A and B are shown apart, each in its own frame.
Chain A
């Protein structure tokens, strides 16, 4: 379970101080996958970095499984927007990187082949397609067998077919591995497809303005249903209401 209580994050000091998040509170239940949407530049990524323990809150508190987050936790994995692969490491080295940093000896071979990357272990990222790079980024997070997955627009800038396939992949992994997930996205259909609840944030400084219940989420063929279309339309209306 993730509990965020009155979280405030301010960049810089004095006159140059920029509040990115102001008094944001939210709760994500265990094994729940939620989406976070909001106008661009509203502080979504900042929120995610704070959840990962990379940014210290200026005020407020974040608790994961009841413990206050004071730094990077081993049971929390972060998937970055452009996958954040290291170009000088091979696919396998990238996928096992987080494990090795934590001094763990496990192999990521199984995860890589589950994600259709078998045979590419010795390639460098520059040799891969964009969709494959994202899957290596996902593999790096999965290899840790995390209890919490934080995802910062993992499907951004992918072509629509690859994007839907990657969304299906994340949904399948959620069913299979049962992690608690927070997905930051600016894509409304993606938020409805992958968010059991959708947190709508305000323009910067971010706080939660609405939480949309999305009970239909969880089935791979949800996309084609009228209910899905209605949810997307509703989300569009909510976001339009607080647009930039």
Chain B
């Protein structure tokens, strides 16, 4: 409990620091260029307050979209990654394919994605799912390759089926690494979400996601910047969710580390 309070305190301090640096940057830019370039935190805050209903709607839409994309990417990527990492035959055949596709940014294929999925909600989800999917696959594959052989032997010796080996060894052994990788890829995912929402939502109102909100108010720096803050908070939200998930699902990882961090 005390630890949680300390973590929260650090986050508050970090936010205060960001606000301070931000205020300093706007003041410096104003001083050297002679006009307002970067709106100050309080101007942004008041712009956010004036447009709070739209901003909340945009935040909610983006959060839901990201959540769905994350869940879908996990449901598709985790089984594939674990199987490829654990079954050496699959590894041999599928790894080259994965590594060929992995570095390819889905945004580069936007034209084809439009044509394939239309201009609706689906294509926005597809872009984010594609980006997260490969992250999950590669993380799961890497973790599944280094499963301790004696764990598998112990379970096989008890007469476990393949399915039981996955459930009792492969999945729990790799979960901490997979969740860490997911946390790392939140940043990439948010970037993709932003691109998907700006490039693929030209006809929509500002409530249709934070990307669209920022784009919609391009010429109102203060409101637009409030949307950027929203994106940062969205990333933080998912980061915290994944961290809590790891603490709950991988409780065993944290018992040995008592008094450590």
Q: A-side interface residues toward B, CB under 8 Å?
A: 49, 52, 54, 72, 74, 77-78, 80-82, 84-89, 97-98, 101-102, 123-124, 126-127, 140
Contacts and interface: CB of A to CB of B under 8 A. Distances in A.
Nearest to A87: B252
B261 interface: no
B156 interface: yes
B158 A72 contact: yes
Interface of B: 150-151, 153-160, 164, 168-169, 172-173, 250, 252, 255-256
B255 A126 contact: yes
A88 B157 contact: no
Contact of A102 (B156, B158, B172, B256): B158
* Of listed A72, A88, A101, residue having the most chain B CB within 10 A: A88
Contacts of B158: 72, 97-98, 101-102
B157 A82 contact: no
A78 B157 contact: yes
Given A80-B153, A84-B150, A126 B159 contact: no
Chain A at the B interface: SS class: loop
Contact of B156 (A72, A85, A86): A72
Given A72-B159, A86-B155, A101-B159, 18 more contacts: A54-B156, A74-B159, A77-B157, A78-B153, A80-B150, A80-B154, A81-B150, A86-B169, A88-B173, A88-B250, A97-B155, A101-B155, A101-B160, A124-B255, A124-B256, A126-B252, A126-B255, A127-B255
Nearest to A126: B256
Contacts of A97: 154-155, 158, 168
A78 B256 CA distance: 27
B142 to A, nearest CB: 18
B255 A52 contact: no
Report, nearest first, the 7 A-B pairs whose CB atoms are least far apart: A84-B154, A98-B158, A126-B256, A84-B150, A101-B158, A88-B172, A78-B157
Contacts of B256: 124, 126-127
Given A72-B158, A102-B159, A86 B153 contact: no
A133 to B, nearest CB: 12
A62 to B, nearest CB: 15
Nearest to A127: B255
Contacts of B172: 86, 88
Contacts of A98: 157-159
* Of listed A78, A85, A101, A140, residue having the most chain B CB within 10 A: A101
A98 B144 CA distance: 22
Nearest to A80: B150
Contacts of B159: 72, 74, 98, 101-102
* Of listed B157, B172, B255, B256, residue having the most chain A CB within 10 A: B157
25 contacts: A49-B153, A52-B157, A54-B153, A72-B159, A80-B157, A81-B150, A82-B150, A84-B154, A86-B154, A86-B168, A86-B169, A88-B250, A97-B154, A97-B155, A98-B157, A98-B159, A101-B155, A101-B159, A101-B160, A102-B158, A102-B159, A124-B252, A124-B256, A126-B256, A140-B154
